[in-house]
Structure 1
Amino acid sequence: KEFGFNKVYVMYQDVAWARATAELVKKLYFDKTGWTVTGMESYPTGTSDFSSALMKIRSQGAQVIMPVFDMPQSGTLVKQWNAMKVPAILSGFISPLAGSAAWETFDAKIGGATNTIFELGSGIGSGKHPPSKDFYDKYLQKYGKEIQAGHGPAPSYESVYILKEAIERAGSIDPDKIVAELEKTDRIGVLGRVKFDEGHQAVYGFNPQETCVSTVFQWTDSGERVIVFPETIADGKIQLPKGLKSLK
């Protein structure tokens, strides 16, 4: 939206969760908002060469690459994207890129890539939402290393308190009474304000004072991770790769 981009190439791991994610994002977002999907390509787990797709992306003029991977080799995609200087912004979910250790793991060749953290507090915390930073820092203090996973730690931690408070409100360990209280959950926690919808799913939005939030950060060329989305907790703006200019 900020740059006026409208062409995307989707790359995803050939496993159930990644296929579903790629297909649903296409169906529910790209197809409904006027984007041109120049290609959708799946990769068997273990693939470590993505150069042919990157050449296609360059020739087709896609401005955005959306990767969806959790295999260890997927960080190679970013290294090749950087080495080939493909003029498209890389923005999706590559699990091995989530934590701070990725900079060393991938030889300091991932600068410019943006990556999604599914729940604030998993993989990265924000000083603009203190509970997430507090959780992240206390994990480091206790275990001597930073959280590296971009999905799981924050809601796992939060779920203990959600259950504890539901049991206290119910005044019982009767399952039906506890479920009724779980449905009433409304608390400010690590990943934002936690509430559940009618389908018992956590409600997500863009302000941690109102809902749970995911976050997007960008790797800098010096190995720092800067939160760029959502605006309520952003510490910087998205920096485009060389050769890619805003259409606005």
Structure 2
Amino acid sequence: MMKTKRKRNLPAKPDWYFVDARVEDFWAAVDFEPPLNLLDIFRAGGCTVKTYQELSQKLDISVDEVAARFGSDDGCLFYDARHDRYRLAYDCSTRPRTRWTLAHELGHIVLRHLEDFPETSITRTQSPVLLDILDKEADKFAGDILAPAPLLIGLAESSHLHTKEFYYALSRDLFGLSIQAAHYRARFIYRYRDKITKHWTDAKPAVYQKHMNKFLALYGGLGPDTLAGRYWMEKYIKEYQRYEEPERCPAASGE
């Protein structure tokens, strides 16, 4: 399914162009209905999925002990090179980070991190520098599949509305992101929109066109200058502002 590859050489920094190409490969292969069912994608690819809670019962240890064994509170991915198979373990408790964790781990698979860089296995001595580079690539992949920048920007352009609050509202309502993830995504796209769109030859990469029309019908006219838009955005604007309040007043958050 994924055609784009890179050389085996250890990267000195994140390869954003490689990640972008893999993201477009992903969207070309996916029939997108938001929010993505990430567990279905893992299982369709032959990945074995277990929750920390299931492993806790099986091993008769606490969930915290399971997390400690894997070295992560959120989730952990394993690659069995002998059988060319992935295994995923994750904490399924109702926490905002769960979907981001799954998307991040999917990024490691799609970007072939564990296959191309076996030294990242938890059973081996790991390079913190390499792990940081690969985690940054996986984070970019996660953001680009959970709330694709071309779709967010295209919907904002159709409403003539380039604001953090509008990107936030779309990230929450259409793409189902948590408050924290939507806030981060909205600020990122607002800040880097020009850089994101600089290399686009058309309004957006062609692979996203097949997904755009159905969303335009629902969200294309929801700017705050319309009655429907004001009604729809009101709660998200308030939510966004409440989340930003501790950042404006660090002392209030105990920092």
- TM-score, normalised via structure 2 length: 0.26
- TM-score, normalised via structure 1 length: 0.26
The answer to which structure has the higher strand fraction is 1
The answer to which structure has the higher helix fraction is 2
